[in-house]
Structure 1
Amino acid sequence: MVKVENKTDLFDRIAWNIVIPVVLLALVGLYSIYFAAIDDPSHMGSPIKSVVMQGLWYIISLAIVVFVMQFDADQLLRIAPYIYGFGIILLIAVLFFYNRGVAGDTGAKSWFKLGPISFQPSEVMKPAFILMLARVVHEHNQKFAHTIKNDWLLIGKMAGWLLPIAILLKLQNDFGTMLVFIAIVGGVALVSGISWKIIAPMFAAVFVLAAVVIFMVTTPGGQAFLSHFFQAYQFKRIMSWLNPATDTSKGAYQLWQSMQAIGSGQLFGNGFGKLSVYVPVRGSDMVYSVIGESFGFVGSVAVILLYLYLIIQMVKITFDTRNAFYSYVSTGVIMMILFHVFENVGMSIDLLPLTGIPLPFISQGGSALIGNMIGIGMILSMKFHNRDYMFSQAGDF
């Protein structure tokens, strides 16, 4: 770990261009959670309690960020298998000690319940997997030249480390989270040096497969075949996404209400705290509807631009460090956050089907926040240890 000589040195080593947008997003989150709780008649507890609890999660996450950023590239590289293994143990354990109440409501066996607190281990598995994936790619590229044969070998290694997670998430009935892991693999594969002769056909195949699955969902025979892989509620979500106006009182109710809320905000919104459209689960999955209704199109775009600024700053730090392992880590973190934003915003406006994917740093809940903040901690460690790795021969591009 790096030795900090004085407070000025410490201040300069912190990537404030990463910290500031995360803090701003957190403030947007506290605002959204507070007024979502006021607007939700079924919400348990007071809005103040919701904000205080989320504030405590931010404090815990901040402590985790400070801890994680102390690790340099060599240390992260060494501990990656242990962190990955610990994550796998948690994913196995939750299959036996899952929250029965959540499983009864959603069918997902993916949450622990520790007294009044629920925790989703797959969220912290995401940064653990990013570290392991970065290690696998880094070590492979140090040993092998990029040939078609070796690139297929690398793909096999990446798929091998993803497979246990895919099986465990399938057993947990958590398809939405699995999509995040696939996005992480796709992003890291793009920067890993794998030939485009392999990458392009594979990405094309994924899009074709997705289109075929969506078409099959719209036919009785297709649904019968896909029922071996997907649940009935997932079919309903796709059908609601394709035509939300046909079932606005049942399957598409949440989506329809979200669209109504965002649309009512128009250009500049209805004003601070002025919410008039009821949206279920508004503080977490549908939190973007709070922003759209309060601040309209302008406010909604401003939040997206804030995410864009954050991602651009992550990319800049990656290039400044000139360390290959860090580049794979940062790509994984960027893809994790980017996919969360794209999916959450997309499902709120009917661009994508509904999934239980939260909006990073804004949605209510501690599990996803901790997972994302671990990723931020790994990004911050890049600048914090920049002097040690700027000219590292082993990790240079």
Structure 2
Amino acid sequence: MLGKIKNIDWTIVVILLMLAGICIPVIHSAVSSGSNAKMAGSETLMAVYYVLGFVALFIITFVDYRLLVKYALYLYIFGIGVLMLVWSPLSSEGINGANGWIRVLGVSVQPAELFKLILIIGIGAFLARKQTAKLGFWRDVLPIVLVAVVPFMIVIAQNDLGNALCYAIILAALLWIGNIKYTHVLIFGVLAGSVLYGGITAYRSFRTEIEEFMKIHMPSQKHYLVRLDPILMPDAAGDSYHAERALESIASGGMLGKGYMAGDLSSKVPYTYADSIITVIGEEFGFVGMAFLLLLYFILIHRMIVIALECRDRSGPFIIVGIVAMFLYQIFENIGMNIGIMPITGITLPFISYGGTSLLINMASMGIVMSIHVHNQEAIKMEDRLQTDHLDELGKEAEYKSRGFKWPSLGLGRARASREKSK
């Protein structure tokens, strides 16, 4: 146990503590006034979640991550079952058009957040068995895609576009690092580009017809139009209040910001304590504050990549790459949607936005990264010890020879010579 504690990457722990130090005061500022005042006290609850998150991180650190890889199939089946609970009596009230919450012991839990980590472990376990061979399409790529498509469709049915897209990003990152053939990448790229271009063109050409169809046949999904309009049809966007207020709030912060709790525009942005929390940071701490936050993310991701590169086990790097892809997508999408370069989706800013399930899953993810690092360091020390022991034996043999002694052969040399003579 003491050896494992020494192997903990304390840089990651410090970064997480600094992110907690940003999260809690910023949430307090976000809920102190405006339409979010009804969420007063969220900063205290988030502090409790952070304490639980650090407890989970250290517990998972000392658990061998290879156990998760070993039982990846059972975890996947369990995760699909939990996703389906959204349509069970445990279902909780939807939020902003999404219906992806269940209520357990009086606490709302979002299964889609949990499944991101399960998907990473599942695909990572599959790829770890492939050694260095290129992925075959029918034998490897198609089964992996199906593993991701099933939860993707379930989460889309729950109107949670943000987490569904996160599954697609995780899939793409792991297929790339898993040694997919370039021809398959080209085919997927052409197909994806064609679908994206065709979809955007059709949306712009038949926007009115699409809206009428969704009002009649898909009323629960019509909020997607409000989120897509500011990006795909900025000139004709009818309801772009969220996007405009978010961009205005961030821009008003300038270089150094207006000061802590001195912002007034961000209070007009919906969900500043959650999905739009970057608007509070941008207005109160300016470009410098946002750049500092991005620097912390950079250091955190850099440390994760270094751990992946040093890992001796094949499954470890795959899991870390999946977690890195998950964080990068969430950071880019969350900040991008608030500065007008990405469509607005329900996605949290890792370690900063309010959300108990999201934070606990992120901390558990870092616990798995730490477990990979700790157990990998033990493997490296064992290798070094074996090499040192081998060198010590060679040194002893050389010393005996220099003194005129022969290293005992136990008769193995004579047996080898007799076999060669008989041949």
Give the alignment's TM-score, normalised by structure 1: 0.88
What secondary structure sits across from 2:272 in the alignment? coil
Q: Using the TM superposition, give the Cα deviation of residue 392 of structure 1 relative to its aligned residue in structure 2, in angstroms.
A: 9.8
Other-structure match for 2:307: 317
Measured in 2, the distance between the counterparts of 1:27 and 1:327 equals 29
Select 2:142's aligned residue among 156, 177, 193: 156
Q: Using the TM superposition, give the Cα deviation of residue 365 of structure 1 relative to its aligned residue in structure 2, in angstroms.
A: 0.9
Q: Using the TM superposition, give the Cα deviation of residue 145 of structure 1 relative to its aligned residue in structure 2, in angstroms.
A: 3.3
Contact 2:36–2:271 under 8 Å retained in 1: no
Measured in 2, the distance between the counterparts of 1:24 and 1:76 equals 29
The 1:328–1:242 alpha-carbon spacing in structure 2 relative to 1, beyond 3 Å, is same
Other-structure match for 1:39: 33
Select 1:136's aligned residue among 121, 126, 147: 126
Say yes or no: does 1:254 pair with 2:211.
no
1:337-362 Cα offsets, whole Å, 9 max, x none, are: 11000000000101100000000000
Contact 1:68–1:378 under 8 Å retained in 2: yes
Contact 2:243–2:337 under 8 Å retained in 1: yes
Contact 1:99–1:112 under 8 Å retained in 2: yes
1:352-391 Cα offsets, whole Å, 9 max, x none, are: 0000000000000101111211211111111111234449
CA RMSD of aligned residues (A): 2.5
The 1:159–1:293 alpha-carbon spacing in structure 2 relative to 1, beyond 3 Å, is same
Other-structure match for 1:196: 182
Select 1:369's aligned residue among 344, 359, 364: 359
What secondary structure sits across from 2:180 in the alignment? coil
What secondary structure sits across from 1:118 in the alignment? strand
Select 1:231's aligned residue among 218, 221, 227: 221
Other-structure match for 1:274: 262
Task: Extract structure 1 runs of 4+ deviating beyond 4 A.
Answer: 225-230, 243-247
Residues 312-351 of structure 1: matches in 2 within 5 Å? 312-351=302-341
Q: Which moved more, 1:261-270 or 1:214-223?
A: 214-223
What secondary structure sits across from 1:283 in the alignment? coil
Contact 2:204–2:232 under 8 Å retained in 1: no
The 1:42–1:207 alpha-carbon spacing in structure 2 relative to 1, beyond 3 Å, is same
Structure 1: which amino acid aligns with 2:251? G
Other-structure match for 2:117: 127
Instruction: For structure 1, list consecutive stretches of 5 or more residues without a partner in the other structure.
Output: none
Contact 2:76–2:122 under 8 Å retained in 1: yes
What secondary structure sits across from 1:94 in the alignment? helix
Measured in 2, the distance between the counterparts of 1:370 and 1:234 equals 28
Q: Using the TM superposition, give the Cα deviation of residue 157 of structure 1 relative to its aligned residue in structure 2, in angstroms.
A: 1.6
Kindly tell me the number of residue pairs found equivalent between the two proteins.
377
Q: Using the TM superposition, give the Cα deviation of residue 28 of structure 1 relative to its aligned residue in structure 2, in angstroms.
A: 1.1
1:232-283 Cα offsets, whole Å, 9 max, x none, are: 2212211123455765xx7211111111110100111111221111211100
Select 1:91's aligned residue among 79, 83, 89: 83
Other-structure match for 2:166: 180
Instruction: For structure 2, list consecutive stretches of 5 or more residues without a partner in the other structure.
Output: 384-423
Contact 1:183–1:336 under 8 Å retained in 2: yes
Q: Using the TM superposition, give the Cα deviation of residue 123 of structure 1 relative to its aligned residue in structure 2, in angstroms.
A: 0.4
Q: Using the TM superposition, give the Cα deviation of residue 124 of structure 1 relative to its aligned residue in structure 2, in angstroms.
A: 0.8
1:209-246 Cα offsets, whole Å, 9 max, x none, are: 22322222212279639958993221221112345576
